């Protein structure tokens, strides 16, 4: 960051949050805290849940034009009366640090990307740092969301994994997941992945974050029962979550460099 400042590169992240969803508020606070820790300028636009789609787009249009803001992030989900696609499309693809804009999604498909979605990128970093090679491995992703499942599959494919995407209509799910050398759970159901679904020695990445009736945070994987079967497994909380924030910071800095042609 010091080098960028010396070069006169402005690094700034603007976060827009609509409504008072408690989970969204936690995520936004974590992002602001990370910005403070590494010296990224940040702004927050907190709008009431009754805010209109046009009000959000007006803020985005202003931020698109500001040279001190390199990254724009709209915290999802949005209230039902606001069309998420319209909001994502309004963000300049050059400042789309979530990598949800159609231009960036297309670049990810072809492998010629500037930004990666923060959670899938964090998962790939975890796999790399654990010394596991994706090449030639049987990879299974449970979940097909645009935010995690689909881009996660593409990133594994780009590293020469053999990838299967599973979802609610998949038949014989257990048989499919049992083949996985690398299993990524992003289904949004607490303790969905049980020990009998996991191959001995598999790498298990738990993207899920769910709150039980008792208020405890748990993942999509039944951690206690799966940990002895897996070669490596991520905890919830404290596994993929911090990596997602780290990748957001990385994207924001990269956006600043690209905008400044550095």
Q: What confidence score (pLDDT) does residue 26 get?
A: 86
Same fold, 2-97 and 118-240: yes
pLDDT tier for residue 24 given thresholds of 50, 70 and 90: confident
What pLDDT does residue 22 have? 83
Q: How many CA atoms lie within 13 A of 143 on its CB side?
A: 22
**H or E segment to which residue 185 belongs:** strand 182-185
pLDDT at 8 over 90: no
For the question of residue 54 being annotated catalytic, the response is no
- Using the predicted structure, report yes or no on whether residue 2 has a pLDDT greater than 90: no
Q: Residue 52 above 80 pLDDT? A: yes
Looking at CATH, the fold of the domain delimited by 2-97 is given as: Rossmann fold (3.40.50)
Alpha-carbon gap, residue 183 to 204, rounded angstroms: 5
Q: Where are the domains of the chain?
A: 2-97, 118-240
Decide if 5 is catalytic. Answer: no
Write down the mean pLDDT value for the chain: 95
Region 47-58 average pLDDT: 98
Q: Is residue 76 over pLDDT 80?
A: yes
For this structure, is 228 an active site residue?
no
Catalytic residue among 94, 95, 96, 98: 98
Between CA 162 and CA 134 the distance in angstroms is 9
Mean pLDDT of 149-166: 98
Do 189 and 206 touch, CB atoms closer than 8 A? no
CATH topology of domain 118-240: Rossmann fold (3.40.50)
Nearest to 100 by CA among 145, 143, 51, 160: 145
Q: Which H or E run includes 33?
A: helix 22-38
| Among 75, 94, 181, 220, the one annotated catalytic | 75
Asked if residue 152 lies in contact with residue 110, where contact means CB atoms within 8 angstroms, the answer is: no
Model pLDDT for residues 174-219, shown as the tens digit of each residue: 999 999 999 999 999 999 999 999 999 999 999 998 888 888 889 9
* pLDDT at residue 4 is higher than 80: no
Percent of the chain at pLDDT exceeding 70: 99
- Tens of pLDDT, residues 230-259: 999 999 999 999 999 999 999 999 999 999
- What is the layout of strands, in order, in the sheet containing 203-206? 162-166, 138-142, 182-185, 203-206, 232-233
Place of tokens 């009998």: 196
CB 62 within 8 A of CB 32: no
């Amino acid at each position: 960051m010091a080098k960028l400042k010396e070069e006169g590169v402005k690094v700034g992240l603007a976060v827009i949050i609509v409504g008072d969803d408690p989970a969204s508020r936690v995520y936004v606070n974590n992002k602001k805290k990370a910005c403070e820790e590494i010296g990224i300028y940040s702004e927050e636009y907190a709008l009431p849940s009754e805010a209109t789609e046009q009000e959000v787009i007006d803020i985005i249009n202003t931020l698109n034009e500001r040279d001190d803001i390199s990254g724009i992030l709209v915290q999802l989900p949005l209230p039902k009366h606001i069309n998420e696609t319209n909001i994502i499309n309004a963000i300049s693809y050059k400042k789309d640090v979530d990598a949800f804009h159609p231009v960036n999604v297309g670049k990810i498909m072809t492998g010629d990307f500037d930004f990666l979605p923060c959670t899938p990128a964090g998962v790939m970093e975890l796999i790399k740092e654990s010394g596991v090679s994706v090449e030639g491995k049987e990879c299974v992703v449970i979940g097909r969301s645009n935010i995690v499942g689909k881009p996660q599959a593409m990133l594994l494919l780009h590293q020469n994994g053999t990838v299967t995407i599973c979802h609610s209509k998949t038949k014989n799910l257990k048989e499919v997941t049992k083949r996985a050398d690398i299993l990524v759970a992003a289904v949004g159901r607490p303790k969905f992945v049980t020990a009998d679904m996991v191959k001995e020695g598999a790498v298990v990445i738990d993207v899920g974050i769910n709150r039980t009736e008792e208020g405890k945070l748990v993942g999509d994987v039944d951690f206690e029962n799966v940990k002895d079967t897996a070669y490596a497994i991520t905890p919830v909380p404290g596994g993929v979550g911090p990596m997602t924030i780290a990748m957001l910071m990385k994207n924001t800095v990269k956006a600043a460099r690209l905008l400044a042609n550095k």
